[in-house]
Homo-oligomer: A and B are copies of this chain.
Amino acid sequence: MSLIVQKYGGTSVADIERIRNVASRVIETKKSGYQTVVVVSAMGDSTDELIKMARELNPNPSSREMDMLISTGEQLSIAMLAIAIESKGFDVISLTGAQCGIKTDEIYSKAKIDEIDTRRIRQELEQDRIVIVAGFQGTTKTGDITTLGRGGSDTTAVALAVALEAEKCEIYTDVLGIYTTDPRLVKSASLLKSISYDEMLEMAKLGAGVMHPRSIELARKNNTKLVVRSAFDFNSNGTEIIGAKKMEKAQVRGVTIDENIVRISVPNVPDKPGIAFKLFSSLVDLNVHIDMIIQNLNHDGLNDISFTVPSEDLDHIMPAINAYVEEVGSSPARIKKEVSKLSIIGTGVTSDVKIASGLFGRFYDLGINIEMISTSEIKISCIIAQDKSQIALESVHEYFNL
């Protein structure tokens, strides 16, 4: 019998009515002949409420106790969903992360899954039960509860799909699937029928926040078929995320815009070996996602180093950058906040020069200056002025017929 793993996010189980709705969907899946494993997040904003309550008591609670606290959210929602499914006469059992053998390391609040002992889940499935699993949580070897951090429930779902060798892993969410660009920004955005792991990874990293990159990477590594689809409209088939097929021709699959970045430049850095390394190694421990690093020799024989970081990390990293400026004797760092990163994504986009030139042509037509460019196998990203990002997004989306 084929096995399916489904994951329903917090908004999908935010209230009694929605839990009923998910219960119906799960039962339909079971009736269609699947062994069904369902991963659920905490109801709606309940996790945020728990965090707020805890901070009232203690602005710096330990991660161990926070994990103990917030893991109650998923435990509550699995029980509720199981209770809803029972009411329709189906055999069901809910399992916490501990009960279904999800063993993690001991990094509370952002634990990584070490292994999954699937015996209990297999036993329950063999008894023809629907199995409901608490997302986002696991336990250490000593039985202490951990949570998996951002994207945790998706990670639970994909990891279970891998461990159980599921036919596919369906991620139910509040959108219909993956779009060519953000449909809130561009009305003509269209739903993708399928997309490769790599393309999806770039989409995820560049602000199409439907899935966390971590779970996509896990699926890619194990070649697990993912489907992103709507928890509210079961008629839509959503978007399949699968291994890249060999494409005849490079094709742009999507356009993303990320306004939540800051450009930092450190001008006039002495041109010595290891001097850029020194800058970025001083930032390693701060766990900041640094993107689009550009270094070039300026006319005075000195280097200008520029890079972008998420806006929220700016305050966090400035002390380290100022210390670096001091140490190497460069000019003070310059910060530019009003920038956006526009990216086009598609396997092979950089291998077809027509795509890059088409993109840059749009900017030229619109009189938009490109401040930085970075490319990978499957994406081209440009930093432009933030007040131009909407018009650029629409124009580029239209140009590539998305």
**Nearest CB of chain B from residue A250's CB, rounded to whole Å:** 50
CB-based contact A65/B53 at 8 Å = no
CB-based contact B57/A84 at 8 Å = yes
> Contacts A57-B16, A76-B72, A99-B144; is A65 near B82 (CB within 8 Å)?
yes
CB-based contact B61/A86 at 8 Å = yes
B residues less than 8 Å from A56 (CB atoms): 16
A19 adjacent to chain B (CB < 8 Å)? yes
CB-based contact A65/B50 at 8 Å = no
Q: Which 3 interchain pairs have the tightest Cβ spacing?
A: A69-B79, A58-B87, A68-B79
Which residue of the partner chain B has the closest CB to A72? B72
In addition to A57-B87, A58-B83, A120-B143, 8 A-B residue pairs with Cβ atoms within 8 Å of each other are A19-B57, A54-B79, A57-B80, A57-B83, A65-B86, A71-B75, A72-B75, A98-B143
A20 adjacent to chain B (CB < 8 Å)? yes
A64 adjacent to chain B (CB < 8 Å)? yes
Q: Report Cα–Cα, A176/B96, bound state, in Å.
A: 39
Which residues of A does B touch, CB under 8 Å? 16, 19-20, 50, 53-54, 56-62, 64-66, 68-69, 71-72, 75-76, 78-80, 82-84, 86-87, 93-94, 96, 98-99, 120, 143-145
Ordered by A's residue number, 10 sampled pairs between the chains whose C-beta atoms are within 8 Å are A54-B79, A57-B87, A60-B87, A68-B78, A69-B75, A69-B79, A72-B79, A75-B75, A96-B145, A98-B143
B residues less than 8 Å from A72 (CB atoms): 72, 75-76, 79
B residues less than 8 Å from A79 (CB atoms): 54, 65-66, 68-69, 72
B residues less than 8 Å from A65 (CB atoms): 79, 82-83, 86, 94
B residues less than 8 Å from A68 (CB atoms): 75, 78-79, 82, 94, 96
Among B16, B50, B84, the residue within 8 A (CB) of A76 is B50
Q: How many copies does the complex hold?
A: 2
CB-based contact B99/A84 at 8 Å = no
CB-based contact B62/A69 at 8 Å = no
B residues less than 8 Å from A93 (CB atoms): 64
Q: Report Cα–Cα, A75/B73, bound state, in Å.
A: 10
CB-based contact A86/B58 at 8 Å = yes
**Nearest CB of chain B from residue A354's CB, rounded to whole Å:** 56
B residues less than 8 Å from A143 (CB atoms): 98-99, 120
**Nearest CB of chain B from residue A68's CB, rounded to whole Å:** 4
**Nearest CB of chain B from residue A157's CB, rounded to whole Å:** 19
**Nearest CB of chain B from residue A358's CB, rounded to whole Å:** 53
Most chain B beta-carbon neighbours within 10 Å: one of A56, A60, A78: A56
B residues less than 8 Å from A78 (CB atoms): 68
CB-based contact A80/B75 at 8 Å = no
> Contacts A53-B16, A99-B143; is A86 near B69 (CB within 8 Å)?
no
**Nearest CB of chain B from residue A87's CB, rounded to whole Å:** 4
**Nearest CB of chain B from residue A48's CB, rounded to whole Å:** 14
**Nearest CB of chain B from residue A252's CB, rounded to whole Å:** 46
Which residue of the partner chain B has the closest CB to A69? B79
**Nearest CB of chain B from residue A57's CB, rounded to whole Å:** 4
B residues less than 8 Å from A144 (CB atoms): 99
Most chain B beta-carbon neighbours within 10 Å: one of A54, A56, A71, A79: A79
